[in-house]
Each structure stands twice: as structure tokens, then as C-alpha cells.
Structure 1
Amino acid sequence: MNDVPTKTRSTPHTPPAAPQPGDRRATDAPPAAREPLWTLFRVVLVLSALSWGGLALMAQLELYYVERERRFTRLAFSDLIALSWMVPGAVGCNVAVQVGHALRGAAGAWVAGIAAVLPFFCTMTAFAIFYDSPFIRSMASPELIDHFAVVLGSLIAITWYRQVRAVVHTRLQWLAAAGACAILLLTQRASAFVLLLAIAFMAGWIQSPTRGERLAIAFDRSDKILVPILVSLVVLFALPLPLSPQYQLALLWPRLAGAAMTLFGGGFSALPVLKTLFVAAPLGVTMRDFTLAFALSPVSPGPLLNVIPFLGYLTYGSIGAVAGTVAFFVPSGLLIILARRHLQRLEMHARFEHGMRVLRAAATSFLIVAVVHVAEHVPLRFSYVGTAVFAFVCLGRLKLPVYAVYAMVALTYAIAMFVAHR
């Protein structure tokens, strides 16, 4: 059965068929039968609360709005997913924002975005609030955190392998991935993250086999205000400013918003970037706290970027959890709507797409650097090697959920401690 809606021939007695919600013609405006905002909020909230990971949220949204409600065709929904991968940020949240925009315009985008973020915001903030409780502290024992870090590193390594197989194919893409990896292993400056992505995109643009093609995009008044703001945030993040502790604290949220504009390829790519921002003396977040945040991430619903409320709370309390979440997720939500309005031109521009392919290949280096960061903080012991082998088998071969692997590792550790203290 063809998912593309057929077009009714216009006659004196048969008016033309109205655009359907999933029709490509309706991507720039809300559909005629508009989704109630409360219904949209409730559906996305429940789906997000039941989704562990951004890919799971995308699958749940597709199942509900394509299979069950028939609000989108498969072709139209695949466009939403493709655009979400092209834009930085949490992919699952980007898809939710686009669904809301397609069903109810700007108001729907805000409602769906808030509903997608709220479940993991509440969960991770609760983890941070009870961080000093005996339960969390028992989970945060240094040796158990090291075992969790090994599982985390194994998961990131598997994700890196799969991403490389999916997005790195040509010689230029391999050069971009290898070169970016080598540079990021030598320097951890925020400017390096931004410059690498910019250089990779320009290399793909210049080396594109298609020549003489112009990218003509007409920005409206709001776009002309939004684009300079987003660019200035990226520049603020990238500049190696000699910041005093006072200014480093004051500029944390604008720099976090700029960092969000550089994260392609999923949540694990955020680890080295967020480490640069949060693991700093004025903020009081230690490497142990940072590792625990990512270890708790799979236990909470939402994408792996759900660590933001946790880190924000450790920095500034409840205000920090809210400010960090807003700073990180709102800019990428605005950018995805900006890109959505110009989707057709972007899809048809071969040089732009070629540049994005090379950029995505370079972004895989963030994952391998994250593995190195995890490995260098774990002692080389036989028990940790055993945990790594166990994690690779469970996650790579058996495809077990990561929270189940964490649970088995924690149970094994608890049994070992009990036996050792008898």
C-alpha cells in the first residue's frame, strides 16, 4: 500500500482534496483538523515517560501518529527524522517539536517540546535532590561508579562502532573522522569542537561533486533576529576567554546554549563537551559527579542528554536545573523549526547535504574521545576488564537494555561486597 496520499482531480462537483497532516504540502502550516493542545501535551508526555532513549521516543511517536492515528504518512514522518539528524541537539526531542509544529504550529512546538523534556527533567532532578541520600550514596561508592563507568564506556564504544558503519563511507569522511579524533585527543578546548565541525562542513561543501548550485534561503524578520543570536551563542562557547570564576559562573548558561548548537550524533557525543563546561573548579562538579550523572542517565526516561538537569542542580540547585534545561533544549528546538521552514530547499541542495555528511562523520570523533575520557579514570584491574567483556556481550550481542546491565552489575557488586565482609 502506498503511503503517499493521492491527489483528487478538481471538477465542478469535486473540490480539490485538502492537504493531509502528513502530506509534504502541509509541512509549513498546521493541518485543518488541528490537534487539541492538551491532547498533544498528554500524548507526548506519556510517550516520553515510557521511552528510554531518543530513538525509543521517535519509535513511539511514529507508532502513535503514523500507525494508530494516521496523522502523518511514513514519507512525511521520515522527513521529520531526517531533519532531526541534520540539526544538533537531542534527536528524539527534535522530532517531538516538529510533530507539535506540524499539528498546531508554534504553540504546538512549545507544548510538545515541554512534554518531551518534562519526564526526564523531573526524574534527573529528583536524583540530584537525593544525591546525598544513603541510597544514592550507596550507588555512588567509588568502586561501583568505576564499574558503571566501564559499562558506560562499553555502550559508547558500541554506539561509536554503529555510527561509523552508518555514516562513514567515503575517503573524505574517513579523513574527517580520523583527523577530528586525533585533534580532540590532543586538545579539549571548546573552540576545537566548533572549528572541527565548521571545517568538516566546509570540506564537504567544497569537495561536493555538484557545482554551481546556490543555496537561496529567504529569512523572514524573526529569522533575522534568531540566527545572529544562535551564532553569537556558539561564538561565546567557542572563544577561549580568560574567564575569572565569577564570569565563568555568570556565562555558564549562555555557553551551554552555544554548546548545544555543536552536538551532532546523539547524547554520548555530549560527554567531552559537557565535561569542558561543568567539570571546572568554580562550579563544584567533580569528575565523579559527572560520571555518576551519565551512569544514572539510562535509568531515567528520555535521551542521554537528560544529564543536563542533574548537572544544573549540582551547580545552582533547582534554579540551575531549570536554567540548564532551558538553555540546552530551547535553542535546538528553535533551530529545528527554523530549518523546518526551509526544509525543501535544504533537501534539494546537493552541496549542503554533502557538507552535512562529512560533518556527521567528523562528529563520530566525539564518541571515541568520550570512551578515552571514561577509560583514563578507571584503574586497570581484572574485575573492570570482566565488567567490560560482560557489557559488550550484553549490549552488543544480546541487545539487553542498558539499565538491565547496570542492575546486574550493581547486584553482582553488592553480592561481592556482602561476601567480602562476612
Structure 2
Amino acid sequence: MHMMTTRVAARRGEREPLWTLFRVVFGLSALSWGGLALMAQLEHHYVEREERLSRLAFSDLIALAWMVPGPVGCNVAVQLGYTLRGRSGAWIAGIASVLPFFLVMTLFAIFYRTPLVHAAASETLINHFSVVLATLIGVTWYKQTRALVRGRLEWIAALLSCIALTYAHSPAAYVLMLGGAFAAGWLRSPAHPVQLEVSLDAGDGQLLVGLAALIVLFAIPLPQRYESTLLWPRLAGAGMTLFGGGFSALPVLKTLFVTPAIGVSNNDYTLAFSLSPLSPGPLLNVVPFIGYLINGWAGALIATIALFVPSGCLVVLAQRHLHQLKAHPRFEQGMRVLRAVTTAFLAVAVLRIVQRVPLQPAYCVTALFSLVCFARLKVPVYIVYGTVAIVCGVWLFYAHVV
């Protein structure tokens, strides 16, 4: 027993080679559909198989990833790289976690622009895919509400946010709502003698100021002629408001991309989110797809950097001060209310999709089929999409022949 304990301790003290770190994270990300799947695979490899981290240490990485904005799975990968190899490891692990879905979604966008795919992607098929997407988001909303919304304050915040988001269409409303939720949780938390004291060096302070400036740039209304010029910095600011999973991004990112100045159509935007579960990675993998539609390969690359790099920098900064953040009850209470508010983004995303799909029996059948598959049978997303696509294609072909 003593020899085993010594071996584990020595194993945890080893430096992970950067190439090994990249290879492992890239491989696991390429086989992970969704951020939760990536986290589970990282835990299995580095905690259970390699014994590089304790289970408690890895759970701290997951907890912090939920506390900061951005894709949770990628945030965990960045922290893991930082823990194993410092800042260089954080960059390597972050790139490795993003690269698989960046390539897949960019390829989707390339073929989407071909005449053959445009002809196949009829309005009927897009509507059926939208129904599947709405059902998937609805099931996700139900699960997140059960897990995150418990206390009276959290229920009130979630309900008020649903009402506010139904009528709000500006980035400023999203930023104010999230900030107000955190402030409400902070103020309603009982007074505690523990003080939140975080010592920041000059570089940390400059990073926080820069991230705050990006949020402000996203929030303020701009003349139409500046929307295209400042699109990518505003996308980085939008990423700083995304909590609670990728589907919460649907109404937020829509305010940036589906505008006359940018030129992404509502159909293209909805289809991007419909395709996102078919690709590995978190549901924010839609960003390279949309970036490619706007400006080709350069747009896909810049959009991915703009959304994922700021949250990665923030999670590394927070990880260095994790022990101080965890010790402050008011901070944790503020984050609990904020996470409860993010469930409203999912509810409103379902509402927006349902509003644009015609109320017809065929779409109701698709909704019922998707609900049974996702909620009861736990069928993989790609099988549901594939089944719907085949049935829809056969029906359209038969209708055309007849």
C-alpha cells in the first residue's frame, strides 16, 4: 500500500510532455460529443487511468469551469493543461480541445455553400431540423432547471429573466440581466466575516480591464456601419456573457450575426445550431461555421479565436485564485443566482424556434419522436437527425414524383 501511494504521488508530480498533452486532449475531444462528454473522458484518462490528478482536484476544475463564462468542457481542458504544464500547457490543451470541431464545422460550412447542399437543404428539412433542435434544447432546459434552480430567489430570477428575454433584443439587456442576477445573489447572501481578497499583478489587471472593455463593446448599441468592422471584438465580448452551456448562446449570438450588416440569414443561423450536435466538441462549435459563412477560412479562424481565447484566459486567471473565490459565500451565492438566470436563455431559445416553424401535423410528429428519443430512450443526437433527414427526404421525393 505504501509503495502504491508513493507511485501515485510521484506520478502526480511528473511533467506531462506537451506533445503527449496535445495528442491526448485532441483525441478525446474528437470523440466527445458535448462538453460534458469531454470532461468525463478527461477525468477517466487523467484521474482514473494515468492518476495525474486526484478526483477532488479534478472536481475543483469542473466547479470553476461552471463559474466562468464560455464552453465548460474547453474551460476544463485549459485548466488541466495549466495544472500539468503551466501556461504553455493551457494553450496546448485549449488548442487541442478546439481543433477537432473547428475542422469539422468548417468543412460543414464549405459543403453547405455548394449548390448541391443548398438544393437539398429545403425549407421543409430545415423546419424539421429546427423542431429537433428545439426539443433538444427543451430537454436540456428541463435538466438544467432541476439542477440549478432550487431556492426561492433563484426561481424568481429565472422567471423574471424569461419575461425580460422574451421582449429584450439588445446585447445590453443580456449584460444588465446577468450583472443584476449576480448582484442580487451577492446582496441577499447573509453577511460573512470572510473577506474576498484577491491580489492581482499588473498583467492580471490589464486582462480584466480588456475583458470588461469587450463586454461593454458588445453591450452598447452601434451604428450599422460599425457592426461589421467591430464584429469580432463584439463576439469576444458576447462570449463573456455565455453561462450554462452552448444552447444559451442561441439568442445572444443571434443579435450579432443575424443583422443586415453581417448578412447571416435566420435559416443559416438556425441550421448552424442544428448541425452543432452532429460535430464533436461543445455546442458553441457553431462559431467556426458562421465565421466561414461570413469571411471564409479567415472568418472561421478569427471567430473561433474571438470566442474561445478570452474565456480560456479568464479561467486560468480564476484558477490561480480558486481557493480565495471558493472561501467567499457571497461570491458563490451570486454565481448560483446567475446560473439560474441562464436557464431563461434556453427557454427563450425554444420559444423563438417554435414561433417560426408552421403548426402542422408533420412537425408535431417530429417533435414527439425527438422528445421520446432524447428524454426516454437516450438516443444519440446524430441518429435522430439522420432518421428525420431520411424520412423527410423520402417524403419529399415521393411528393415530387406523385
TM band (smaller chain)? over 0.9
Alignment partners' CA distance in 2, 1:182 and 1:139: 37
Alignment partners' CA distance in 1, 2:346 and 2:116: 30
Secondary structure of the residue aligned to 1:101 is helix
1:33 paired with 2:14, answer: yes
CA contact (8 A) 2:194 2:327 kept: no
The equivalent of 1:12 in structure 2 is none
Unaligned runs of 5+ in 2: none
Secondary structure of the residue aligned to 1:400 is coil
After TM superposition, give the deviation of residue 21 of structure 1 in Å: 7.2
The equivalent of 2:353 in structure 1 is 374
- Structure 1 residue identity aligned to 2:387: M
The equivalent of 1:145 in structure 2 is 126
The counterpart of 2:309, out of the listed 314, 330, 337, is 330
CA contact (8 A) 1:45 1:116 kept: yes
Secondary structure of the residue aligned to 2:109 is helix
User: Cα RMSD over matched residues?
Assistant: 1.7
1:188 paired with 2:169, answer: yes
The equivalent of 1:309 in structure 2 is 288
- Structure 2 residue identity aligned to 1:244: Q
Alignment partners' CA distance in 2, 1:332 and 1:219: 18
Alignment partners' CA distance in 1, 2:335 and 2:351: 26
The equivalent of 1:62 in structure 2 is 43
The equivalent of 1:201 in structure 2 is 182
CA contact (8 A) 2:232 2:303 kept: yes
The counterpart of 2:153, out of the listed 131, 154, 172, is 172
Q: Out of 281-290 and 412-421, give the one that drifted further.
A: 412-421
CA contact (8 A) 2:46 2:53 kept: yes
Alignment partners' CA distance in 2, 1:20 and 1:179: 52
Q: How does 1:239-250 map to 2 (within 5 A)?
A: 239-241=220-222, 243-245=223-225, 247-250=226-229
Alignment partners' CA distance in 2, 1:228 and 1:220: 13
The equivalent of 2:83 in structure 1 is 102
Unaligned runs of 5+ in 1: 9-16, 23-31
1:72 paired with 2:48, answer: no
- Structure 2 residue identity aligned to 1:111: I
1:155 paired with 2:136, answer: yes
CA contact (8 A) 1:140 1:292 kept: no
Quickly say closer, same or farther: Cα 1:208–1:125, change in 2 above 3 A: same
- Structure 2 residue identity aligned to 1:123: V
1:397 paired with 2:366, answer: no
Alignment partners' CA distance in 1, 2:59 and 2:11: 14
**TM-score, normalised with respect to structure 1:** 0.92
CA contact (8 A) 1:204 1:357 kept: yes
Quickly say closer, same or farther: Cα 1:18–1:125, change in 2 above 3 A: closer
The counterpart of 2:251, out of the listed 264, 267, 272, is 272
Alignment partners' CA distance in 1, 2:183 and 2:9: 37
After TM superposition, give the deviation of residue 209 of structure 1 in Å: 2.2
Secondary structure of the residue aligned to 1:130 is helix
The equivalent of 2:30 in structure 1 is 49
The counterpart of 1:339, out of the listed 318, 331, 335, is 318
- Structure 1 residue identity aligned to 2:132: V
The counterpart of 2:268, out of the listed 289, 292, 297, is 289
The counterpart of 1:131, out of the listed 100, 106, 112, is 112
Alignment partners' CA distance in 1, 2:93 and 2:314: 15
Q: Out of 385-394 and 206-215, give the one that drifted further.
A: 206-215
**TM-score, normalised with respect to structure 2:** 0.96
Per-residue CA deviation, residues 108-149 of structure 1 (Å, 9 max, x unaligned), is 000000000000001111111121225532542110000000
The counterpart of 1:119, out of the listed 86, 91, 100, is 100
The counterpart of 1:349, out of the listed 328, 350, 355, is 328
CA contact (8 A) 2:235 2:303 kept: yes
1:223 paired with 2:224, answer: no
Alignment partners' CA distance in 2, 1:35 and 1:326: 25
After TM superposition, give the deviation of residue 275 of structure 1 in Å: 0.4
Alignment partners' CA distance in 2, 1:51 and 1:150: 24
The counterpart of 2:64, out of the listed 76, 79, 83, is 83
Runs of 4+ in 1 over 3 A off after TM superposition: 17-22, 210-213
Alignment partners' CA distance in 1, 2:113 and 2:232: 25
CA contact (8 A) 1:128 1:313 kept: yes
Quickly say closer, same or farther: Cα 1:48–1:138, change in 2 above 3 A: farther
The counterpart of 2:215, out of the listed 220, 234, 237, is 234
- Structure 1 residue identity aligned to 2:49: R
- Structure 1 residue identity aligned to 2:147: A
- Structure 2 residue identity aligned to 1:41: F
Alignment partners' CA distance in 2, 1:150 and 1:222: 46
CA contact (8 A) 1:21 1:102 kept: no
Per-residue CA deviation, residues 232-255 of structure 1 (Å, 9 max, x unaligned), is 1001111123x132x111110110
Secondary structure of the residue aligned to 1:333 is helix
Q: Out of 209-218 and 263-272, give the one that drifted further.
A: 209-218
- Structure 2 residue identity aligned to 1:344: H
- Structure 1 residue identity aligned to 2:310: P
